[in-house]
Amino acid sequence: MVSSQRNRSKEKAEKTSNIQYSTTSFLPPTQSATNFKPRVTLTLFLFALFSAGALYLRYSYFVSKKEAYAVCSRGDRKGIYTVDANNSQVECMVVRGVRVQDTGSLSDVRARWNGPLLDVKYLQENEIVIPGISDSHCHILEYGGSQTIDLVAGRTMKHTLEILADYINSHPKIKNDRSKIIEGWGYDHASWDVPVLPTAADFDTNPTTRGRQIILRGRDGHTVWVSPITLAKNAPYPTETIEGGVIIRDRNGAPTGVFLDKAMEFIKPAVLTDEDLRERFQLTVDHALRSGLTSLHDAGAGPESMKFFLTEQSRGILPLRIYGMRHFLPEADAPYWGNTSTPLVAKLRGDNTGSRLSGRSVKLFADGALRSGGAALNEPYSDNPSTRGFMRIDLELLRRVVPDFLRDGWQVNIHAIGDRANGIILDTFTHAQEALGHNIRELRPRIEHAQVLTKPDMKRLGDLGGAISDMWYAQDRLGPERVKGLYAFRSILDASARITLGSDFPVDEINPLAGFFAAITRVDRDGSSPHGPGGWFPDQVLTRLEALRGMTIDPAFASFTEKDLGSLEHGKRADFVILSKDIMDPQVSPQEILHTKVRATVIDGRAAYGSII
């Protein structure tokens, strides 16, 4: 047996180890925009003096049940998917401390690890182990806030208000304090029986919501719908056109109560306390861990979020890994900050501390969202020919700051939905590479969403996130031809791009297995799609292996952590998930995947959810 003091010494030693960062990237060497083909290179690891096998033999003598354990399938079944370069499946995996130390057959690992002393934990029949799952695009604190009121369930405007009223009536402190600002997230006018934007006056149709300060954010996060009293308290509003946003107005020019994108800044939200933020964070963490998520790429890490994450880190080790994308706000009071070192904007690499909080990326917004009509398209919307959406950032500013951030060593992640926005961003990355005079591949610039693409731009794409919840209304918005470029997974992969799968929660659900299901089937949960049970553009489906890599090793690559996370290989962090069914087995139907349970979520070798059997 090993003393607790020895364990603490081991953990301290782990925390002082350096994380190495690869110099591979999504982008190729400088070339013309039309030949912009992202490539992936393979890093070779060389070990001096000792082979890996010799290391295992040298230290196996000292192994005890306290120090190491093995997770193994029964009966020669290879139920551990390592997601290494060869996509190997193995029977057993040995974990010592916070890292994976060995993989192979049970007989081999026992021979290398003093078999009688090795603590073997057997999987149940049909269970498998996969690397810890990453959500490559999500909003952590926003998700926690969205869970207070289930507005997504609203099927009509009236039903949505009834859900809100039930929430108010079930919370006496809110019900009895009519001065309190009530906030919610998730209403979806596009899914209502009459898919039109609501108005402030609609709140007065329900006796409980009438006369209250209410701010509801749309499901896509790019709209807010406010009550009459909130509309009045935030007045006056500008009458001129807003660059990068829209105030919806009636025929007389008066605001109706709905604000899009940058226009949302005219509505002041409620001030959140530390207790509010901590409650939201814990709710997200609980849902993430029970869903098998070990790493989250927070795509909304503004100053408030980053300050909170830093504070939580100072209180102790974070319950899961966070890769934060810092917002760049192009207003006059937010000048370029990429060359500063203040805590809220400093690069966090987690090099020497074993920190679970890292971030070396900046997040910019190119356009709005498809659901609310703000995505920047090359041609007008099919269901609203008066507009083709809008860009949220000045193009000259974009061309200036992107090279600056890249020059200062930042990964640049840009939100782009429409085909016009995506084309502009790819042009911007090409311009940046030419301006810097060297290959920017090592900084792995990303396009967040890359939702609607032209065929030429599919060949230039470097990263993709998202799901297919938009399929039911997308053709109305885009028309029968342009919709073919929406979430064209297969075409993007065939163009040598690298795909990561992110839910964008709370825009979509937090369950990564639902995203896995969607990627390999392109149908809804009930097996339906606009093109029938065969799938929505079925030629764009991913294989199970591609989907698995898209939520494990590829997000690790996208966050510069592929040498430490994303696969179950010797020396990597022991982040893994035990699933109740083998989702990789073709004999397991897609519908069975939706009913697969997460038995355990393990981070640094310890169960953060469930238990290691």
Sheet holding 214-218, edge to edge: 182-187, 214-218, 223-226, 255-261, 245-249
Structural domain boundaries enclosing 120: 4-132+604-610
Q: Is 113 exposed, middle or buried (CB count within 10 Å of its CB: 0-12, 13-18, 19+)?
A: buried
Are 432 and 374 contacting, i.e. CB atoms less than 8 angstroms apart?
Answer: no
Query: Do 32 and 68 fall within a single domain?
Result: yes
Query: Do 15 and 87 fall within a single domain?
Result: yes
Give the pLDDT confidence of 355-400 residue by residue, as tens digits: 899 989 999 999 988 888 889 999 999 888 999 999 999 999 999 9
Range list of β-strands (E), 89-162: 89-90, 92-96, 99-104, 119-122, 128-131, 133-138
Q: What are phi and psi of 126, to 5 degrees?
A: 80, -10
- Give the 3-state secondary structure of residue 395: helix
- Give the 3-state secondary structure of residue 57: helix
Give the pLDDT confidence of 193-229 residue by residue, as tens digits: 998 999 999 999 999 999 999 999 998 888 999 999 9
Is 114 among the domain residues? Answer: yes
226, 247, 266 — which closes off a domain?
Answer: 266
Query: Do 100 and 80 fall within a single domain?
Result: yes
Are 152 and 104 contacting, i.e. CB atoms less than 8 angstroms apart?
Answer: no
DSSP code per residue over 147-215: TTS-GGG--SHHHHHHHHHHHHHT-HHHHT-TTSPEEEEEE-GGGSSS-S---GGGGGGSTTTTTS-EE
Range list of β-strands (E), 397-552: 411-416, 446-449
Give the pLDDT confidence of 468-521 residue by residue, as tens digits: 445 555 666 577 677 666 667 777 777 667 778 889 899 889 999 999 999 999
Is 301 among the domain residues? Answer: no
Percentage helix, strand, coil, to 5, in the chain?
30, 20, 50
CA 56/CA 22 separation, integer angstroms = 26
Query: Do 19 and 101 fall within a single domain?
Result: yes
Average pLDDT over the chain, rounded to whole? 83
Give the pLDDT confidence of 552-566 residue by residue, as tens digits: 999 999 999 999 999
Is 166 among the domain residues? Answer: yes
Query: Do 108 and 195 fall within a single domain?
Result: no
266, 289, 305 — which closes off a domain?
Answer: 266
Residue 246, beta-bridge partner list: 260
Is 101 among the domain residues? Answer: yes
Measure CA 110 to chain center: 38
The pLDDT score that the predictor gives to residue 344 is 66
The pLDDT score that the predictor gives to residue 176 is 95
The pLDDT score that the predictor gives to residue 333 is 54
Give the pLDDT confidence of 53-83 residue by residue, as tens digits: 333 333 333 444 457 999 999 988 999 999 9
Measure CA 414 to chain center: 14
Q: Which of 262, 355, 351, 359 is nearest to 306 (CA)?
A: 359
pLDDT exceeds cutoff 80 at 462: no
The pLDDT score that the predictor gives to residue 483 is 63
Give the pLDDT confidence of 569-578 residue by residue, as tens digits: 999 999 999 9
Q: Which of 506, 518, 511, 514 is nearest to 222 (CA)?
A: 506
Query: Do 118 and 176 fall within a single domain?
Result: no
CA 19/CA 571 separation, integer angstroms = 11
Give the pLDDT confidence of 304-322 residue by residue, as tens digits: 888 899 999 999 889 999 9
Cα first-last separation, the chain = 21
Query: Do 94 and 193 fall within a single domain?
Result: no
Is 245 among the domain residues? Answer: yes
- Give the 3-state secondary structure of residue 14: helix
pLDDT exceeds cutoff 60 at 26: no
241, 266, 291 — which closes off a domain?
Answer: 266
CA 361/CA 347 separation, integer angstroms = 8
Instruction: Quote the pTM value.
Output: 0.82
Relative to beta strand 293-301, strand 321-327 is: parallel
Residue 184, beta-bridge partner list: 216
Query: Do 97 and 158 fall within a single domain?
Result: no
Is 547 among the domain residues? Answer: no
Is 291 among the domain residues? Answer: no
DSSP code per residue over 17-50: SPPP-----SS-SS--GGG-------PPP---SS
Query: Do 10 and 127 fall within a single domain?
Result: yes
Query: Do 191 and 127 fall within a single domain?
Result: no
Is 584 among the domain residues? Answer: no
The pLDDT score that the predictor gives to residue 351 is 44
Question: How many residues comprise the chain?
Answer: 613
What sign does the CA torsion over 301, 304, 308, 314 have? positive
The pLDDT score that the predictor gives to residue 165 is 97
Query: Do 120 and 230 fall within a single domain?
Result: no
Query: Do 113 and 165 fall within a single domain?
Result: no
- Give the 3-state secondary structure of residue 476: helix
Which token pair is 119?
């603590």
The count of domains in the chain is 2
CATH code of residue 169:
3.10.310.70
- To the nearest 10 degrees (0 to 180), the angle between helices 395-407 and 419-436 is 50
Higher pLDDT, 86 or 14: 86
